[in-house]
């Protein structure tokens, strides 16, 4: 039987606490700015804005831009298409988490372990 994973937006009071628990000081210094950079690289439609933070029922975390419009993306793996704001946010987070995990000088993995 497959368990359904659901998301919940973080309350405003927890926007700093949950990322700090997961990433330590790396969140405001490296993780969040990297997500915004990836968003700009993947889509010319992305011009900044407010991002919602979400926790998942499997204890995961991601963030997504608050937008009524979808984003036209061009990914490094050759995918070109349109993503909803939620899918775009998940994609940007996954790119970021992956890239930071391969950084030989980064201690993010040790912080999160």
Report pLDDT digits (tens) over 20-52: 998 888 888 889 999 999 999 999 999 999 999
* Residue 33 counted as domain residue: yes
Residues of the chain with pLDDT below 50 are 109-110, 112-113
Could you give the dihedral angle defined by the CA atoms of residues 11, 23, 52 and 64, in that order, rounded to the nearest 10 degrees?
Answer: -150
* Residue 107 counted as domain residue: yes
Strand partners, 80: 74
The reported pLDDT for the residue numbered 107 is 52
Q: Please tell me the total count of domains within the chain.
A: 1
* Residue 2 counted as domain residue: no
Query: What CATH code is carried by the domain that includes residue 30?
Result: 3.30.70.3580
* Residue 1 counted as domain residue: no
* Residue 44 counted as domain residue: yes
Domain containing residue 17? 7-112
Cβ atoms within 10 Å of 113's Cβ, excluding its own: 6
The reported pLDDT for the residue numbered 113 is 47
Task: Say what the pTM is.
Answer: 0.86
């Amino acid at each position: 039987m497959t368990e359904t994973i659901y998301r919940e937006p973080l309350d405003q009071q927890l926007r700093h606490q949950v990322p700090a628990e997961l990433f330590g000081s790396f969140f405001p210094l490296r993780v969040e700015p990297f997500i915004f950079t990836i968003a700009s690289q993947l889509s010319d439609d992305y011009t900044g804005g407010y991002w919602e933070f979400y926790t998942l029922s499997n204890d995961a975390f991601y963030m997504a831009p608050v937008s009524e419009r979808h984003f036209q993306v061009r990914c490094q793996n050759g995918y070109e298409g349109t993503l909803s704001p939620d899918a775009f946010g998940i994609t940007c987070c996954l790119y970021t988490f992956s890239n930071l995990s391969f950084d030989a000088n980064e201690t993010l993995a040790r912080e999160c372990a």
